[in-house]
Structure 1
């Protein structure tokens, strides 16, 4: 057999072996991801009140920190002799639209569903989407406080058609300037890393090690109640 044909045959065997391992890893990843998503969905459903209150208080805490920072900057601009005016300066209340009891119920239902849909914890494995999730939840909270059902519906529709809720995985196209065999090796390394990350995820560890994984609900509830208590102290106004 000519040396050239022999090299080509060895290369083809290597490619087939790599592709087989890649396909196996993809199935494992898909299986574990499905388990995690299902389990986390049930956890969120059980802790919906705690999750939403924690997000609302977190958003309020960030707003207060931002306001304090802006106040300090304004004081510096006024100079060392600047004195805080006596008495409290109350900011005007945010405008709220009148809504019927039916609208109020629909508003709350839509708000709760949307908050769970884009909860930042859902994107713990996707750093690029976590920041978007935080921004989206902040916007949802503001719209809910305003009590504008139509505006909230519009924003939720925007979320549903955006990057946060896209379920399609990007296509893996081999760049023209990359050797196919080398590309498969890189893809294999990437999938191994992804599989390891999923296996080390807390909720998957709970699912695979607890006799009854759903007892983890009370552990999470205690965590969120503690965090909520701390956030209430931090956001308490005089």
Structure 2
């Protein structure tokens, strides 16, 4: 346990997250805490994790950016004829079997599409969610972990899906009776903080709002950049220019 990074969050007796309006309130609580947290109980729940649906244009853009750190060049924004349900035409063409005939970028993208398609056809994963409750000077804290009971679609690409869905093969807290913290921090909690759109999330929002169609989604970003209404920052996110704000 000493080698693990475990985050405990303050909760009330019902297990709900405790938030303070002022940082100084949380700092006062921090002064009352010791570094030793005593385990007072745990709760186990069986959960199912459903695989994502088959890829569509917006989801492919999002997955490519998150998994492959894929950055599209501006000239590729003008994508015509985009279609729904993006999948391999023949599942017998395993990525490893055709790797030698593809560039590295093509291989990584095809592997993403192949694994996602296969996962969408597989069974849901079953996990055991264990919530641990701790006590420190009459203040409650909690943390949780999800232990795999049946991998289901997670087995299709475990190196990607297990960390993405925060699932472990075995518990790291099963035998502990207390935790000794290295430090206690007060963190600012920003609920539903707006995040700038990147190409993938912009397409998802357009799709959600019913603006445009799959073959024209990417044109919106291209027009914003071409007309100087927005520019891309170092993270590939759209940032409005003075012209775009005026």
- Specify the TM-score bucket, using the shorter chain as the normaliser: under 0.3
Q: TM-score, normalised by structure 2?
A: 0.23
- Name the larger-Rg structure: 1
Greater helix percent: which structure?
Answer: 1
Q: Which has the higher contact order (CA 8 A, sep 6+)?
A: 1
Greater strand percent: which structure?
Answer: 2
